[in-house]
């Protein structure tokens, strides 16, 4: 390190730094690193993040030096960079924490929803298959009642059979489906 730079004030160091003098940069680094680190650490409570902030601050200073106005107050400039970077980290951490929380909630809710929909689809397929296996007349009565929402009288009129036959066919269909699907439903919910 240049001994002459150690004697210079901030304004003189900044003037030399504007012209690309690395010795003045090294002096500014030595002079401000501990102060800026403590400042960043006080806000972040994390050594690694505080070090990164200070390192980035000096990188920004080096890159911006040739363009800095002559009336720039070095300490204020460096503190402003540190403060802005700390605020960005805090904001990013807050957004990330919120994102992680939302993602966890979605993963749980989304899995449950997907699991529920999958079960529902499989169960619907099982029910539909068993309905298709009913004798044709019974299946027709069942579908008119459950899918078309017709009354027993309307079904009797459409099929030209008695209401008692409709009621009997409906009861038999329900009994058959309960017997056949009872085991599937119990097994279905045990496996999943």
Looking up tokens 């409906």 gives 170
- Output the pTM of the full model: 0.51
Structural fold of domain 3-98 = Rna Polymerase Sigma Factor; Chain: A (1.10.1740)
| HSE, side-chain direction, 13 A CA sphere, residue 142 | 21
- For domain 107-191, the CATH architecture is Orthogonal Bundle (1.10)
Name the burial class of residue 143, with classes exposed (0-12), middle (13-18) and buried (19+) by CB atoms within 10 angstroms of its CB.
Answer: middle
pLDDT at residue number 52:
95
How confident is the model at residue 192, as a pLDDT?
37
Q: Rounded to an integer, what distance in angstroms lies between the CA atom of residue 177 and that of residue 156?
A: 22
Report the chain (192 residues): mean pLDDT per 10 consecutive residues.
77 92 94 94 92 96 93 92 90 73 66 68 80 88 84 88 92 84 55 38
Chain center to CA of 62: 37
The confidence score (pLDDT) of residue 67 equals 93
Q: How distant is the alpha carbon of residue 56 from its chain centre?
A: 29
What the block records as the tokens of 66 is 């040739």
Q: What is the pLDDT of residue 64?
A: 94
Q: Where are the domains of the chain?
A: 3-98, 107-191
Helix (H), strand (E), coil (C) string for the chain: CCHHHHCCCHHHHHHHHHCCCHHHHHHHHHHHHHHHHHHHHHHHCCHHHHHHHHHHHHHHHHHHHHHCCCCCCHHHHHHHHHHHHHHHHHHHHHHHHHHHHHHHHHHHHHHHHHHHHHHHHHHHHHHHHHHHHCCHHHHHHHHHHHCCCCCHHHHHHHHCCCHHHHHHHHHHHHHHHHHHHHHHHHHHHHHC
């Amino acid at each position: 390190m240049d001994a002459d730079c150690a004697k210079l004030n901030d304004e003189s160091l900044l003037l030399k730094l504007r012209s690309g003098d690395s010795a003045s940069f090294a002096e500014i680094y030595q002079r401000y690193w501990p102060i800026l680190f403590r400042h960043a650490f006080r806000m972040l409570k994390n050594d690694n993040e505080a070090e990164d902030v200070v390192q980035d601050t000096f990188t920004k200073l080096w890159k911006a030096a040739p363009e800095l106005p002559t009336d720039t107050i070095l300490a204020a400039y460096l503190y402003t960079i540190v403060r802005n970077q700390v605020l960005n980290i805090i904001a990013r951490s807050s957004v990330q924490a919120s994102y992680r929380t939302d993602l966890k909630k979605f993963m749980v809710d989304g899995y449950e929803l997907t699991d529920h929909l999958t079960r529902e689809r499989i169960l619907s397929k099982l029910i539909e298959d068993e309905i298709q296996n009913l004798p044709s007349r019974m299946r027709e009565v069942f579908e008119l009642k459950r899918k078309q929402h017709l009354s027993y009288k309307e079904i009797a009129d459409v099929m030209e059979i008695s209401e008692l036959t409709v009621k009997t066919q409906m009861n038999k269909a329900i009994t058959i489906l309960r017997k056949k699907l009872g085991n599937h439903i119990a097994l279905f919910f045990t496996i999943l």
